[in-house]
Amino acid sequence: MKTVSRRARGIFFLVTGFFACPCHLAVTLPILLTLTAGTAFGAFLSNNVWLIAAMASVYFIGGDGVGAARVLARRFTQAHSGFLRRNIRAQGARLMLRG
């Protein structure tokens, strides 16, 4: 169960990081400004576009990094543990042949 939720959180970070990509701000920022028009938050967004772009860039890099690590962690762990088992068996067979 824990690996399912870990994978789901990883997918969430990947998707939200994708939408926070600075190249998508040309589409997402006007939509966000339209949805928050007339509010203090909307005024803050419209006055601080460069700050929003910088924060989106940081989240894009961090979110995609965390998401990829969470989604791919189990695959690498399983592949690595199989390699270790084969390597330990091979070492044991060599020691038995010497003995």
Rounded distance between C-alpha atoms, residue 76 and residue 53, angstroms: 33
Q: Residue-wise over 7-38: b if at least 16 C-beta within 10 A, else e? A: beebeebbeebeebbbeebeeebeebbeeeee
Neighbours of 75 (CB within 10 A): 9
Task: Count structural domains, the chain.
Answer: 1
Range of the structural domain that residue 75 is part of: 2-98
The pLDDT of residue 51 is 93
Structure-block tokens of residue 15: 């998707």
The pLDDT of residue 6 is 79
The pLDDT of residue 75 is 62
The pLDDT of residue 71 is 84
Per-residue pLDDT of the chain (99 residues), as tens digits, is 565 677 888 889 999 998 888 888 889 889 999 999 999 999 999 999 999 999 999 999 999 988 888 888 766 555 555 555 555 555 555 555 555
The pLDDT of residue 24 is 86
The pLDDT of residue 19 is 86
pTM of the model: 0.64
Rounded distance between C-alpha atoms, residue 90 and residue 83, angstroms: 11
